[in-house]
Amino acid sequence: MINFEQYKVLTFDCYGTLIDWENGILTALKPLLFVHGINLNDDQILEKFAKFEADIQKKEYIKYKEVLSRVYQKFGEQFAFEPDSKELYSLADSIKNWLPFPDTVEALQSLKKKYKLAIISNVDDDLFAFSAQHLKVEFDWIITAEQVKSYKPSINNFRVAIERIDLPIEQILHVACSIYHDIIPAKSLGLSTIWVNRRAGQAGTGATLPVVAQPDLEVPDLQTLESGIYSSLT
């Protein structure tokens, strides 16, 4: 059982946890693929996205805009079409239109009254700035892949976050939707973790690779987390 009183900071993954990235990915990719005669279902698109993105992020660091460009290039290579220059960057350009889950903003604003909040995200600074406008809460720390020059699941991203927050790890609680990107590396450093299982009841693992780990707590959404925290504190 998690003792929510012991934590001073909640650290969040952004895309998939706060922002509905799977809907954003599909909204951007499906029309592009359709133009080239590629008819994949949603799960197939997300699973290929997960593999392509992970393979690219394991290599030498490049900005996330370029990661997404290369992801789409991989679709072209696998399905034998050549994207034009506009198509290559349309996925990154779409991020400014990706919206929070319906429960995100209210939950963050409520949790901000109790905790300091941080972002640990696989993104560029300017791309997160678009998302920050939608999230409508001031984060105390923002740690991006661009700043640390690595991508989760690298533990480097979490080490930098812990250093910047400058509190004992026993006072930091990490909240994320991805077992692969977040729960495994965060737990390896001794952080407590909450898995926001946004895909509960759905088949597959969507836009993240299928791996297994045991978080300290699983919730279906942030509203459930927020309600659970405040009910435990009363």
The count of structural domains within the chain is: 2
Domain span including residue 72: 21-96
89 and 13 in one domain?
Answer: no
> At which residue do the structure tokens 């592009």 appear?
32
Are 133 and 160 contained in the same domain?
yes
Q: What is residue 151's predicted lDDT score, i.e. its pLDDT?
A: 98
pLDDT of 84-102, one tens digit each?
989 999 999 999 999 999 9
Please give the structure tokens belonging to residue 126: 């300017």
**Which residue among the candidates 13, 124, 182, 221 is catalytic per the annotation?**
13
Which tens digits make up the pLDDT trace of 23-79? 999 999 999 999 999 999 999 999 999 999 999 999 999 999 999 999 999 999 999
Residues 168 and 155 in one domain: yes
Reported as a single tens digit per residue, the pLDDT across 215-224 is 999 999 999 9
- pLDDT of res. 215: 98
Q: Give the residue from 147, 165, 170 showing the smallest Cα distance to 216.
A: 170
Strand runs labelled E in 71-213: 116-121, 141-144, 172-176, 192-196
Does residue 141 share a domain with residue 108?
Answer: yes
Q: What is the mean pLDDT of residues 159-184?
A: 98
**216: annotated active-site residue:** no
Could you tell me which residues come within 8 angstroms of residue 191 by beta carbon, excluding any fewer than 6 positions away?
Answer: 11, 158, 162, 169, 172, 173, 174
User: Cis (ω within 30 of 0) for the bond into 102?
Assistant: no
Q: Give me the pLDDT at residue 1, please.
A: 73
Q: Are 152 and 120 in contact (CB under 8 A)?
A: yes
**What single DSSP character describes residue 100?**
B
Q: How far apart are CA 45 and CA 2, in angstroms?
A: 36
- For residue 101, give the 3-state DSSP assignment: coil
Angstrom distance (rounded) from CA 165 to CA 180: 23
pLDDT digits (tens, 9 = 90+) for 113-140: 999 999 999 999 999 999 999 999 999 9
116 and 220 together in one domain: yes
The whole-number pLDDT of residue 184 equals: 98
In this structure, the chain runs to a length of 234
Q: Write down which residue in 59, 80, 96 finishes a domain.
A: 96
> Which domain CATH number covers 32?
1.10.150.750
pLDDT mean over 10-26:
98
Query: What is the pLDDT at residue 234?
Result: 66
